[in-house]
Amino acid sequence: MNGPFPSLVLDRVGMVFPAASGSARTVLDGVDLSLHAGQCLALVGRSGSGKTTLLHLAAGIAVPTSGRVLIDGEDLGGMTENARTRLRRDRIGIVFQFFHLLPHLNVAENVALPGWIDGRPGGGLEKRVGELLDRVGLADRSRDPVGRLSGGEMQRVALCRALLNKPSLLLADEPTGSLDDRTGQVILDLLLEMAEAERCALLLVTHSLTVAARAERIFELHDGRLRQDPGVPS
Amino acid sequence: MIRVLGHGLLGLVREGRTLLLLTVVGVSLGVGSVVAIQTLNQGALQAFGGSVRAVSGQADLTVLGTVPTIDPALLPRVLADPAVRDAWPLCRLDAALADGSGDLIQIVGFDVFAPVRYPLTRQLDETGSAADPGDLVAAAMAVPGWCAVTPHLAASHGWAVGDTVPVSSGSRLARLVIGALVDFQRYEPLAPVNIAVMDVAQAQALLARPDAIHQIDIVLAGDEDPGTAAARLQRNLGPGVRVLTPEQRAEDAAGLLAAFRLNLTALSLISVFVGLFLVLASVQASLVRRRREFGVLRVLGMQPRQVLVLILAEAGVLGLLGVAIGIPTGFRIALWNVETVSATLTSIYVLEEISRLVLTPTVIIIGTAVGLGGALCGAVLPALDMSRRGVVELLSPLTMHEGARRTAVPLALLAVAAMTAGLLWFVAAGGGNRYAGFILGFVMLIGLPLLVPGVIRAAGAPLRPRGLGWVLSLRNLTIRLRTSSFAVAALAVTISMMVGITLLVGSFRQTLVTWLDVTIRADVYVSTESWIRAGNEAFLDAELLTALGGRPDVQAVETQRRLRVSTADGRHRVWLSGIAFSAVPGVTLASRLPLYAGDPEAVAGRLLASEAVVIGEPLARKAGLGPGDDLVLAGPDGPVSLPIAGVAFDYTSEAGTAFTTLETFGRHFRSDQPNNAALFLQPGADPDAVVAELQRTHRGRPLVFRSNATLRREVLAIFDQTFAVTRTLQTMALFIAACGLALAQLIQVRERAGELALFRALGATRAQISRMFLGEGLAMAGLGLALGLGGGAGLAALLILVINREWFGWTIRPDVPLGALALEVAVILGAALAAGIYPAWKSGLSSPAQLSRDDL
């Protein structure tokens, strides 16, 4: 959806986890963020800084302990878990670092999976799957088992899967983290290109400032707070 | 090693409680079914043995007649034998309580001056208000109808010492007086509770004939070998009696019940077989959970052999847990079923009812061996497999399933080869082997599970899913082939057993109905309350028969005398009937003969014109007799040879039956006094109205009048009761298989945590995930059902055409009871659905946040 609202808004979002000792651990503290369709934002930070937590909040997988998360203007806080799940299915695409393709399904079936979950009819779904695979150069591999693909090819399949339902928000969690530099570069190009072509907002989570540099804006997560434009390598 | 084992078991308790519970429940039910059946089997034999010991506990030998009564003149001849120290007569008969309860009691008339104090009489010396035991003996002889009964029997009927109890034997009524309450079980724990002891002369006078003796008990002098003495006595006393040791009598009962016991044992072992799959699946689950742990242990230097021992030890602990729960459960199940089994023993086999069940050390050992052995057998394959795997494989869950996929086709081929070989062997060499049917059945039951991986693969692999529907569910089974195969195989074996038995019972019932149509042709049947057990000597009096024949609404009366005899070689027990056939207009004798071999007209002609006999099919098969042969029976005066005119279908007794005319019967077996009668009414007469009128007319007499329809209903009720324990076994096996399904799905929830988390991350709701799992459960049930129906049809063919004929001697016409099968299928699918609910719910709990780097 490319309406008047930002694709993603984090409004003073806080996340506190109970710790084993009984005290609380603050992971996110008053985080504000707004991301519009067609924009790309990179989120960097050290391990354990809360990047994954922020991604989970943006995907509606978790709800913040304070503040609001809005997708296309809809507040996830007021939604049931089922409603958040449906919203994730319809408006959010996720690309994982480790691809998470189902090894027993072939390329086309992996891409079609969100459509199956959505209960979309076969004809339109197949057409969309074919179109996406064509754009990433894997049209001729659609019947191949995913086990025969290289890492870069697997991530391309994962990208197609994430874009299948034409999401307004694309979340990419270390999308090049499992790939060599060259392949990573190719995937990154493809990710940015397709996000733009599909007119969706892209939240790129990475620990690499080089990757982050490709985004329009960069935020660093540090001590639970967001800091814009940390030092970017040339 | 011990620490690692302890850690593994603790892990199972902490992280896999449901898996542990399902496995232990499965094993315990398997053990339970074996324990229940063995307890009932032993109970049946012990009941007979207990009765023998209670009555003849100190006797070295017992003389029994080839017909129920013994010539009293034999007693002096027994006493004249130099090896006999003493001998005394017993009059034994079954009487019905004439209080409307229909209960039967065993009357034992004994010689109060018998020189032994065996369990039955020992307490007589110690009981009663009389200070002097001699007073008790005097009372036993002097008070008309005096008897001693067990406190249990007295309590169950509200009797007290001094009460008068009306009883009947045949159409004779007598009054017993409760003279003493004697706890026979105090001296012989397995003594029957429904026993009444009285003076032999009183028993003869009140309920039998004045000189009726049914048994002579003998105590030998000195060190005479009982076998030698028995052989000499047998020679001296002639062929009209059998001289037996108590052990031989117990063996007789064991022989009578051999087929019944064997079939129940075989059925209970199927539950164990199904339980074995649960152990397999459970060990598999444990290995999935701990594969990384094993990988790390292997890296750290653990030997494959140590891995093997570790896994087997864990399975052994599971087996012992199953044994600990299964043995008491099985005993409880035996207690629940004792009434129906006991009723079968008394109504079909005319043996003692089981008054008490004991959990014997033998049964405990069998149960422990089955549980522990089954658990270790179930674990050995996955344990061997796991111990041989390399570290890399151990760290990759799917490689195990890939291995299963690779072996699916070879296993299926092996199954087909084994089944074909089994079938060929059976056709070529199985004919002379009584156990051939069981062996073939065992091969089929082993082959069926081996087919399963191949069948699942063939069913699921070519399918291309187009959504989260049943195609994906079926496809998912092929992916986790190892886990799904166990569950489907367990279910397929269970359904085979259930369907096989349902087809057998349905076919048997339909055959019985058809047979009843031919044989039960009279309108009203007359017998006595004590007839069921005391058929030998429950007579109808002549006045009654005259009265019945004189009724204007009665067209003809047929009477029957039935007697339990043996073939002259002692190998077969035969219920011999003598029938006074009547000419009934429109109902020829030929049309009433359900002949298996012989021309009806010719057989009827020979039966009426000569001393011919028609034998039942079981006797023909077991004794190898047919038309043209002679049936040689042990008669009271020596062997009686009767030419066989024909062989009739007969379902009244697996032991053997034969019938001839009452005239022929009386000529050879002395008595032609009938036990029951059949009335053919005039056209237009209402049988129910006649029965009601007869009941009114003979109120107070121990007579039973049944219309044709009532008799059929009662016969079918006894038939259904006979299979009640089978249904319990079926239910237990289904429960085990349902546990297997639940177990397999829970394992899959665990194995597929990453996949489910991905589904959730991609937007699948909890309900969608749960539905997918339910779909997979139903897909497994569907495959199990398809295979089970096929296996069940094969098993039914084997049971009906081979095992049944070989062991029971009955021809059963195959019939498909569609209603019963449809109900069974619905129950199976319902059980599968119920088994899938918890795993489905559990699967829906997965969170997308659980996705980790190596989940898929």
Q: Does A219 touch chain B (CB under 8 A)?
A: no
User: Does residue B655 contact residue B645 with C-beta atoms inside 8 Å?
Assistant: no
In a domain, A3, yes or no: no
Set of chain A residues whose Cβ sits within 8 Å of the Cβ of B468: 116-117, 119
User: Does residue B206 contact residue B142 with C-beta atoms inside 8 Å?
Assistant: no
- Report the b/e string of B118-151 with b at 16+ CB within 10 A: bbbbbbbeebbeeeeeeebbebbeeeebbbbbbe
Residue B587, both tokens: 């109902």
| Locus of tokens 């591999």 | A141
Residue A40: predicted pLDDT: 93
Give the SS3 label for residue B178: strand
Q: What is the DSSP letter of B539?
A: P
Of A86, A92, A104, which is closest to B765 when you measure between CB atoms?
A86
Residues of chain A with pLDDT under 50: 1-2, 233-234
d(CA B850, CA B395): 19
**What secondary structure does DSSP assign to B775-840, as a single string?**
HHHHHHHHHHHHHHHHHHHHHHHIIIIIIHHHHT---------HHHHHHHHHHHHHHHHHHHHHHH
If we measure between CA atoms, which residue out of B323, B264, B359, B283 comes closest to residue B27? B323
The CATH number given to whatever domain includes residue A78 is 3.40.50.300
d(CA B754, CA B756): 5
Please state whether beta strands B215-220 and B195-199 pair in parallel, antiparallel, or not at all (unpaired): unpaired
Residue A72 sits at φ, ψ, to 5 deg, of 50, 35
d(CA B514, CA B550): 32
Residue of A nearest to B469 (CA): A116
Q: Which residues contact B299 (CB under 8 A, 6 or more apart)?
A: B391
Three-point CA angle B776, B777, B782, nearest 5°? 95
User: Does residue B147 contact residue B179 with C-beta atoms inside 8 Å?
Assistant: yes
Q: Does B696 touch chain A (CB under 8 A)?
A: no
Please state whether beta strands B164-169 and A225-228 pair in parallel, antiparallel, or not at all (unpaired): unpaired
Q: Does A68 touch chain B (CB under 8 A)?
A: no
Residue B393, both tokens: 């494989």
Give the SS3 label for residue B11: helix
Neighbouring CB atoms inside 10 A of A18's CB total 9
User: Does residue B104 contact residue B192 with C-beta atoms inside 8 Å?
Assistant: no
Question: B264-288, pLDDT tens digit by residue?
Answer: 777 777 777 776 776 666 666 666 6
d(CA A128, CA A132): 6
Q: Which amino acid is at B854?
A: D
User: Does residue A226 contact residue A42 with C-beta atoms inside 8 Å?
Assistant: no
Residue of B nearest to A170 (CA): B762
Q: Which residues contact A124 (CB under 8 A, 6 or more apart)?
A: none
Of A85, A103, A117, which is closest to B398 when you measure between CB atoms?
A103
d(CA A183, CA B55): 95
Residue of A nearest to B467 (CA): A116
Distance from CA of B764 to the nearest CA of A (A): 6
Interchain contact, B763 vs A109, CB within 8 Å: no
Question: A137-160, pLDDT tens digit by residue?
Answer: 999 999 999 888 998 999 999 999
| Locus of tokens 């065993």 | B106
Of B479, B762, B766, which is closest to A104 when you measure between CB atoms?
B479
| Locus of tokens 């159409």 | B171
Of B468, B853, B856, which is closest to A117 when you measure between CB atoms?
B468
Distance from CA of A147 to the nearest CA of B (A): 12
Set of chain A residues whose Cβ sits within 8 Å of the Cβ of B398: 103
Residue B131: predicted pLDDT: 45
d(CA B655, CA B804): 13
Give the SS3 label for residue A30: strand
Residue B661, strand partner residues = B579
Q: Does A100 touch chain B (CB under 8 A)?
A: yes
User: Does residue A154 contact residue B505 with C-beta atoms inside 8 Å?
Assistant: no
If we measure between CA atoms, which residue out of B55, B184, B44, B199 comes closest to residue B123? B184
Secondary structure (H, E, C), B185-216: HHCCCCCCCCEEEEEHHHHHHHHCCCCCECEE
User: Does residue B485 contact residue B453 with C-beta atoms inside 8 Å?
Assistant: yes
Q: Does A177 touch chain B (CB under 8 A)?
A: no
First to last CA, chain A: 35
Give the burial class of A196: count Cβ atoms within 10 A of its Cβ; 0-12 exposed, 13-18 middle, 19 or more buried. Answer: middle
Please state whether beta strands B104-110 and B638-648 pair in parallel, antiparallel, or not at all (unpaired): unpaired
CB contacts under 8 A, B 365-424 vs A, are 398
d(CA B191, CA B182): 11
Q: Which residues contact B300 (CB under 8 A, 6 or more apart)?
A: none
Residue of A nearest to B471 (CA): A116
First to last CA, chain B: 31
Name which of A47, A51, A98 to mutate to probe chain B: the one with the most chain B Cβ atoms within 10 A of its Cβ.
A98
In a domain, A175, yes or no: yes
Q: Which amino acid is at B642?
A: L
User: Does residue B276 contact residue B30 with C-beta atoms inside 8 Å?
Assistant: yes
Residue A224, both tokens: 């639970």
If we measure between CA atoms, which residue out of B307, B334, B333 comes closest to residue B41? B334
- In residues, how long is chain B? 856
Q: Does B768 touch chain A (CB under 8 A)?
A: yes
Give the SS3 label for residue B755: helix
Set of chain A residues whose Cβ sits within 8 Å of the Cβ of B484: none
Structural domain of residue A200, as residue ranges? 8-16+26-228
Q: Does A144 touch chain B (CB under 8 A)?
A: no
Neighbouring CB atoms inside 10 A of B308's CB total 18
Residue of B nearest to A117 (CA): B764
Residue B826: predicted pLDDT: 92
Interchain contact, B468 vs A109, CB within 8 Å: no
Interchain contact, A117 vs B764, CB within 8 Å: yes
Set of chain A residues whose Cβ sits within 8 Å of the Cβ of B759: 113, 117
Q: What is the DSSP letter of B125?
A: G
d(CA B192, CA B150): 9
d(CA B171, CA A86): 82
Q: Does B815 touch chain A (CB under 8 A)?
A: no
Residue B688: predicted pLDDT: 94
Residue A156, both tokens: 């391309």
Q: Does B764 touch chain A (CB under 8 A)?
A: yes
Set of chain A residues whose Cβ sits within 8 Å of the Cβ of B761: 59, 61, 88, 94, 100
Residue B762, strand partner residues = none
Q: Which residues contact B39 (CB under 8 A, 6 or more apart)?
A: B330, B331, B334, B357, B358, B359, B360, B363
Interchain contact, B851 vs A96, CB within 8 Å: yes
Residue B551 sits at φ, ψ, to 5 deg, of -70, 140
Residues of chain B with pLDDT under 70: 1-16, 57, 115-135, 187, 190, 250, 252-257, 259, 275, 278-290, 346-353, 391-404, 532-536, 672, 852-856
User: Does residue B241 contact residue B70 with C-beta atoms inside 8 Å?
Assistant: yes
Residue of B nearest to A63 (CA): B849
In a domain, A2, yes or no: no
Of A85, A100, A103, which is closest to B763 when you measure between CB atoms?
A85
Residue A180: predicted pLDDT: 86
Please state whether beta strands B573-580 and B657-661 pair in parallel, antiparallel, or not at all (unpaired): parallel
Count of domains forming chain A: 1
Residue B130: predicted pLDDT: 44
In a domain, A177, yes or no: yes
User: Does residue B111 contact residue B59 with C-beta atoms inside 8 Å?
Assistant: no
Give the SS3 label for residue A169: strand
Question: B2-61, pLDDT tens digit by residue?
Answer: 666 666 666 666 666 777 787 788 888 888 888 988 888 888 777 777 777 777 767 888
If we measure between CA atoms, which residue out of B108, B106, B87, B89 comes closest to residue B97? B106
Size of interface A-B (CB pairs under 8 A): 77
Please state whether beta strands A169-173 and A92-95 pair in parallel, antiparallel, or not at all (unpaired): parallel
Give the Å distances, CA to CA, from B613 to B574, B643, B658, B665: 12, 6, 7, 10
Neighbouring CB atoms inside 10 A of B364's CB total 16
Secondary structure (H, E, C), A186-198: HHHHHHHHHHHHC
Distance from CA of B295 to the nearest CA of A (A): 22
Distance from CA of B728 to the nearest CA of A (A): 41
